Amino acid sequence: MNDALVLDLPLAQPHARRRLALALWLSGMAGVVALVWWVLPDLIARQPLPGPLPIPMWALQLASGAQSAALLGLAVWAGIAQAGKVGLHAPAFEAFASRGSTREALRPQWRPGIAGGIAVGAMLVLAWATQPAALAAANTTMSIPLAVRVLYGGVTEELLLRWGVMSLLLWGLWRGVQRGRGAPRDAIAWAAILASALLFAVGHLPAAYTMLGALDAATLAWVVGFNTLAGSVFGWLYWRYGLEAAMLAHALAHVVAVGTLQ
């Protein structure tokens, strides 16, 4: 394998890559908008501020959304630049960008995506039943809409952590350990999967801190442990089947968990 993008020939065309970038970014922006519109005000309201906000809420939402949009753009760029070099793909998005059949691209992905979603959904139900008491109490007073969980968790987080971070990590390990020769070995792929899953888990800590005001050892272990396990499943699906399988599993896991717990 050389250092050229391992993409379908139509995606070698600049206009196709631009279509791919725009499609990925816009799909992730739906989750960003949902998060800053529905969830951010509730999180801010939980902070013990000494006075009123220094800027209007709408301005804070706009600034937060702009920051997230830029970060999402970097993740999309990183995935387009590096994913194909190490055999990682977003088959349906790539088919759309090259004007191919998205239905055929999704065909190998939906069964493993559904299976992964059910498995992680069951894991979330178990996690809910074993969560620390302080976190359980906080969760009863703050309910994140299912639409936000599906759009931001299922799509935006997968673009950030799998398409962006995991692709970049795998490419870096492949270049560093294998000197960019041959397909990435399984051990290298798993290192990238686990590292991106750990980052995915750590990324949930600020929200937990905002909800609780402090994080004890039990809460840290619970948040990091369950999210690392879930992120590993999503990373494996991305590696073996494609980004859309990971997205489907992540979104469905929230649907299963919310449907079971309500």
Query: Which residues lie below 8 Å from residue 53, measured CB to CB, with a gap of 6+?
Result: 44, 60
List the structure tokens of 232.
């590993």
* Extents of the domains making up the chain: 9-261
Contact yes or no for 64/70 (Cβ under 8 A)? no
Stated pTM of the model: 0.92
Q: What is the DSSP string of 41-53?
A: HHHHHTS--SSS-
Q: Side-chain half-sphere of 167: how many Cα atoms within 13 Å?
A: 26
Q: In Å, how far are 23, 58, 89, 184 from 105, measured between CA atoms?
A: 15, 40, 11, 23
Which residue type sits at 80? I
Q: Give burial (CB, 10 Å; 0-12/13-18/19+) of 71.
A: middle
pLDDT (tens digit, 0 to 9) for every residue of the chain, 262 residues total?
333 334 444 676 888 999 999 999 999 999 999 999 999 998 888 776 677 888 999 999 999 999 999 999 999 999 999 999 999 999 999 999 999 999 999 999 999 999 999 999 999 999 999 999 888 887 777 778 999 999 999 999 999 999 999 999 999 999 999 999 999 999 999 999 999 999 999 999 998 888 887 899 999 999 999 999 999 999 999 999 999 999 999 999 999 999 998 7
The percent helix, strand, coil of the chain (3-state, each to 5) is 80, 0, 20
